[in-house]
Amino acid sequence: MRHSLLPFLAAGLMAVPVMAQEQAGNDPKPGLAGGHRKAAFIAAHDTDGDGAVGLDEYNAIRKKRFFDADADGDGALNEAEYVAEFQLRLDQQYADQGRTQGDERYAASMKQAHVRFAIVDRSRDGSLSWAEQQLVAASSFNGHDTDENGVVDAADPKPVREDQDDQDGPDATADTASASDEVSN
C-alpha cells in the first residue's frame, strides 16, 4: 500500500521546516536542489526534461548521485559527503537561476541538508547506507506519485499531506518496515 508511506513522509520529512525557497509565491522556479513539493521533486529528478519523472529515471539519478557523492568509496554517505552532494546541486541551481550564493536562503538550505541527514540516517550511526537511501527514495517517490502509475507528473493529484507542514507526526519507525516493501522495484 503506497499510501501507508504518507504518515512517514509527514512525520519525517515534513517535520523539517519548509525550505526557505518554498515559502513565498514569487520565488524562482525549483531547480536541482529539489524539495519535497512536487514541482521541486520533478525539477530535481527529470533528467530527460520531459516534465515527468519515471521510476527508472528517478532511481538512476538517485543512484548516480549517491555513488558519485561517496568520496571515500565506502559505499555509504557520511554527513559531509551527503551535504556536499546537496551543495553541488544547490550551487548549480543558483548558477542556473543567476542568483548569488551566500544569501540567507542558501544558508537555510544548507542547514536543512544537515537536518535531513539526521532524518535519513535512520540507524543513527552517522552513515547513510544505500539501503537507507532507497527507503527514503521510495517514500519520496510514492508520496508524489499519488495516482500510483509509476510516474510523477502534473497529472498526480496533490497529496493531502502537503498542506500539513506544520503538523508534527509521531515517530515514524513503524512505517519503515512497510517502506521496505517498496524498495525492490
- Where do contacts with Ca ion occur on this chain (CB under 5 A)? 46, 48, 50, 52, 70, 72, 74, 81, 145, 147, 149, 151, 156
Closer residue to Ca ion (CB): 44 or 172:
44
Q: Which residue in this structure is represented by grid cell 513539493?
A: 37
Least spacing, CB of residue 70 vs Ca ion, in Å: 4
Q: What φ, ψ does residue 76 adopt, rounded to 5°? A: -140, 165
Residues sharing a CB contact under 8 Å with residue 25, sequence separation 6 or more, in sequence order:
none
Residues with Cβ < 8 Å from 142, sequence gap 6 or more? 2, 5, 148, 182
Cell numbers 518554498 correspond to: 22
Taking the complex as a whole, the smallest distance from the CB of residue 129 to Ca ion amounts, in Å, to 10
Q: Closest separation between CB of residue 114 and Ca ion, Å?
A: 16
- Which of 98/157 has CB closer to Ca ion? 157
Write down the least CB distance from residue 125 to Ca ion, Å: 12
Q: With respect to Ca ion, which residue has the nearer C-beta, 70 or 105? A: 70
Give the three cell numbers for residue 93. Answer: 541551481
- Give the type of residue at 102: G
Partners of 151 in beta bridges: 54
Would you give the DSSP letter of residue 21?
G
Residue closer to Ca ion by CB (options 81, 132) is: 81
Cell 536541482, residue located: 32
The smaller minimum CB distance to Ca ion, of residues 107 and 118, is found at: 118
Minimum CB–partner distance for residue 162 and Ca ion (Å): 15
Q: Residue 45 in contact with residue 58, Cβ under 8 Å?
A: yes
